[in-house]
Amino acid sequence: MFSLKNKISLVTGGGSGIGKAISQLFARQGAVVCIFDLDEAGAQSTIDELGENGEAEFVRCNVSIETEVRQAIERVVSKHGRIDILVNNAAIAHVGTVETTTEEDLDRLYSVNVKGVYLVTRFCIPHMKDKGGSILNLASVASTIGIPDRFAYSMTKGAVVGMTLSLAKDYLRYNIRCNCISPARVHTPFVDGFIAKNYPGKEEEMFRKLSATQPIGRMGRPDEIAYLALYLCSDEASFITGCDYPIDGGFTRLNN
């Protein structure tokens, strides 16, 4: 079960955190994983840690620049002949309300979190239409729950959910499925860096406070998100499309 043998998979932001966990799990399950990232060292670490337990390769790409995305996907298709699975994982965050979020902040988040998903998907879709495929977008609980000081981030993740539904509807006739995952807080190097940047001197306190917001009492692990991603991109999930899956330790339903 859950074999991805010989499936050509593209994972954006696969050099760290959730993207790294997804890339490595997919490769171990037999997929050929193409990691789209700007961090070559991080992507190479993802690949090196696999050893002989999977096949992955680095493709340098800024997902917010159309020419780079088009050329990167053309390289993948030229080498492998097709794309079976796309995971739109690359994203950036921002702390701020509508008043403290500048136009530059908004444009920066939009360019990666929304435009990046649009561009990569736009150029992948034509290579899925003949034989079908699976698209998985990484959204967030912030798309459906009000979270303080996350105005721009929540907006972009809400857009990801909307794009997921539109893609699922438009490409159902081509046997292309599209779903999304909405994690709560997941402990990644990104989270550690985020806390250090925004709460200097209070790192341990803030980590405990953020962990406690999940009713389950801790943050998620990247591998836990990757297991759900594996299911949704596998043939075992062939009856599932147009869905947003919270994976949040009870955050959206059990917080009172």
pLDDT (mean) for 152-166: 98
Positive or negative, the CA dihedral 103, 104, 110, 115 is positive
pLDDT (mean) for 98-105: 97
pLDDT at 26: 98
Q: What homologous superfamily is domain 8-184+223-245 in, according to CATH?
A: NAD(P)-binding Rossmann-like Domain (3.40.50.720)
pLDDT at 256: 66
Tens of pLDDT, residue by residue over 29-69, are 999 999 999 999 999 999 999 999 999 999 999 999 999 99
| Domain range annotation of the chain | 8-184+223-245, 189-219
Q: Is 51 exposed, middle or buried (0-12, 13-18, 19+ CB in 10 A)?
A: exposed
Tens of pLDDT, residue by residue over 131-158, are 999 999 999 999 999 999 999 999 999 9
- The overall average pLDDT reported for the chain is 96
For 44, list phi and psi in degrees, rounded to 5.
Answer: -65, -35
Please give the positions annotated as active site. Answer: 153
Looking at per-residue pLDDT, the higher value among 107 and 198 belongs to 107
pLDDT band of residue 193 (cuts 50, 70, 90) is: confident
Residues 6+ positions from 116 with CB-CB distance below 8 Å: 12, 63, 64, 88, 90, 91
